[in-house]
Structure 1
């Protein structure tokens, strides 16, 4: 069982001392927190695999994202994002196929998320829109499920109007306006500090997310990530 209190304590200190000197001077604390996060991911993957057969027993280390921020085009020049992040999906941390996105961040900003956050893959957007055009009622049923709706509301970048090529009066036209489709739910610091309860709640939320992810992944069958130039 991971020590999630260690994770939050380190991130809180980094948030208060967000500079390179402090970051490098506290390497051991960072390593301890990273190990605790990977331990949590390992436990969560086991729980997810109980209801989602598409998720293999992945190496948690391969699922995490770097804390270093790109500050070139930002007014915020703090060098690090004080959060631990990971994406658990059939192909690891690639954005597609979609999976379960985990963010641990202090001050009630820990999130359990699902869906497609990226909006730059035009082929992915087109595939989902085409699938929604024919199966909008099924998507609406997922979003309207009482248990799902008690935690999640659809988010994502979207157009002002239904895009060309689709009926502007489509009954689910609002879903067609989207360029990305994702959901997220925030958890309190107090919950995160309780290892067992945090694991149980995270797994519960991921199970609720699964039909949403399944719908998007069905739409995305055949999508290939663009090759880097």
Structure 2
């Protein structure tokens, strides 16, 4: 992944259309390296996530072009590579796995980000009924080796409607996303074992994704 890191570092300092066009070859080379990584990860995930076996690696990778219409930052390009791995028929509203490659800020993640209201309602209901299963997942040693807790992005300050403030899992019920992530150092990205690291992390996430799928199916 050193090729990708080198290009992204250069892009960060030269985020213009003119520079990008002059270095289109380097971009294509670095992107192909990232796509190949995703392809290898998909193949390695097949034994424990067979529903993902038909995914095309390219379709999992996000575009590098930014939508600047409503942003104060008019930089035309993202300075990272990202890939979302989830059931092709469910897309972004289905639990999945995420790879984020950015110099000094790379991470691996998974779960379900900001689900629609109806899905969120179902997840909260599942936590209310079967919270002990989620406790078993997050208290598992393998899970805790990689993750501390769920993201608290846009977490409610008070109990959601229909739940008492003293509910034993009230802090989870306040969540609006159910995602976990772990940081990856740049040095790890260039190791031959990085793909194996991704698989270990994603295997640790799978029980959480299974819980979420059960909740919203």
TM-score range normalised by the length of the shorter chain: over 0.9
SS in 2 for 1:114: strand
Secondary structure at the aligned position of 2:92 is classed as coil
Q: Distance in 1 between matches of 2:70 and 2:188?
A: 35
Q: How does 1:59-138 map to 2 (within 5 A)?
A: 59-91=56-88, 94-107=91-104, 109-119=105-115, 121-138=116-133
Would the alpha carbon gap of residues 92 and 30 (structure 1) be closer, same or farther in structure 2, given more than 3 Å must change? farther
Cα distance in 2 for residues equivalent to 1:163 and 1:70:
33
CA distance in structure 1 between the aligned counterparts of 2:87 and 2:122, rounded to whole angstroms: 19
CA distance in 2, matches of 1:112, 1:190: 15
Give 1:12-27 correspondences, 5 Å limit. Answer: 12-27=9-24
Corresponding position of 1:208: 204
Cα distance in 1 between the residues matched to 2:158 and 2:137? 23
2:141 equivalent to 1:146: yes
The structure 2 residue matched to 1:193, chosen from 172, 183, 190, is 190
Describe the superposition over 1:149-201 as per-residue Cα deviations: whole angstroms up to 9, x where unpaired.
Answer: 2211211331011111123221111111011110111111111012x211111
1:58 maps to 55
Task: Give the CA RMSD over aligned residues.
Answer: 1.6
Partner residue in 2 for 1:32: 29
Structure 1 residue aligned with 2:4, among 7, 32, 55?
A: 7
- Give the TM-score taking structure 1 as reference length: 0.88
2:124 is paired with a residue whose SS is: helix
- Alpha-carbon distance between aligned partners in 1 of 2:69 and 2:30, rounded to the nearest angstrom: 27
Q: Unaligned stretches of 5+ in structure 2?
A: none
Q: Indicate conservation of the 8 Å contact 1:71/1:78, yes or no.
A: yes
Give the distance between the partners of 1:58 and 1:207, measured in 2 at CA: 18
The residue number in structure 2 matching 1:227 is: none
Indicate if the aligned counterparts of 1:6 and 1:33 stay in contact, CA closer than 8 A.
yes
Larger deviation, residues 85-94 vs 63-72: 85-94
Moved over 6 A (4+): none
Could you list the runs of 5+ residues in structure 1 that have no partner in the other structure? 222-229
